[in-house]
Amino acid sequence: MVIAKMASYILTETIDTVRRITLNRPDKLNAWNAEMRDMLIEALKEAEADDAIRAVVLTGAGDRAFGAGQDLNESKTFDANRAEEWMGEWKVLYSQLRSLSKPIIAALNGVAAGSAFQVALLCDLRVAHPGVLMGQPEIKSGIPTVTGNWVMRELIGLARTIDLTLTGRMLDANEAKEFGLISRLVEADAVQDAALDLARELGAHPPVAMRLNRQRIAEVTQASFDETMSSGVRIQVEAYGTGEPQAEMEKFFEARRNRS
């Protein structure tokens, strides 16, 4: 049985024992704004509280993007004080993903960039298709990568983290799988079914063992996570205090206006 509920920026469905959560701003390539991020936190809390739910699939609406990362229309207006609040908002979301007792599968459909790339990496496993692009292009918008280089370093090591952070380049699906960032590579029309099958497989495991395994994985990285979030405030406040991110984002929008 499928039960669906629509919220403006988040779609949730219950499929057997799996809760599928869809980032639902396809016209913006599912880019984050504060409201969508808050809705995702609430959707994760609801999945956690429902004993009938044994696993979560996180995906994006449409076929172009899992998520394009931060909505630059929002962040170009930030000052140093808002940048500090912004880091606190990300800490709430990332902590919610890390503390969930149930496995989370990312079903990647298109681009996963910036903070959406980070969210995908905070899921336990990632299902993708050959057209997927993944990466951390924040430097091109003048945004320092803080949480991004933390989660990348934990999964792929420092040398590859430096590469992706400083170049801002995107990985195609084959290179991402070689790096270990894609767990299952299937055809585009099979991503959702493969992610659901994987979620059902993980959800069928004993729930206490699953909860304790996820808890221990979070514990192993908790000290570095806490340090990252603390440093992130300092770094983003300095960056936005200089005005460089805002200026670079405005250049991006100006270039896009000139192309249209």
The confidence score (pLDDT) of residue 35 equals 93
Residue range of the domain that includes 154: 2-259
For residue 4, pLDDT over 70 is answered with no
The confidence score (pLDDT) of residue 56 equals 98
Tell me the helices (H) and strands (E) count for the chain, helix number first. Answer: 11, 11
Alpha-carbon dihedral of residues 36, 155, 200, 69, nearest 10 degrees? 20
Buried b (16+ CB within 10 A) or exposed e, 209-224: ebeeebeeebeeeeee
Question: For the residues 95-110, what does the mean pLDDT come to?
Answer: 97
- Provide the domain count of the chain: 1
How many other CB atoms are there within 10 angstroms of residue 154's CB atom? Answer: 17
The confidence score (pLDDT) of residue 60 equals 98
For residue 3, pLDDT over 60 is answered with no
CATH code for position 237:
3.90.226.10
The confidence score (pLDDT) of residue 7 equals 52
Q: Where are the beta strands (DSSP E) in the chain?
A: 2-6, 10-15, 18-23, 55-60, 65-67, 104-107, 111-113, 125-128, 133-135, 170-172, 184-185
Rounded to two decimals, the pTM is 0.94
- pLDDT of 163-205, one tens digit each? 999 999 999 999 999 999 999 999 999 999 999 999 999 999 9
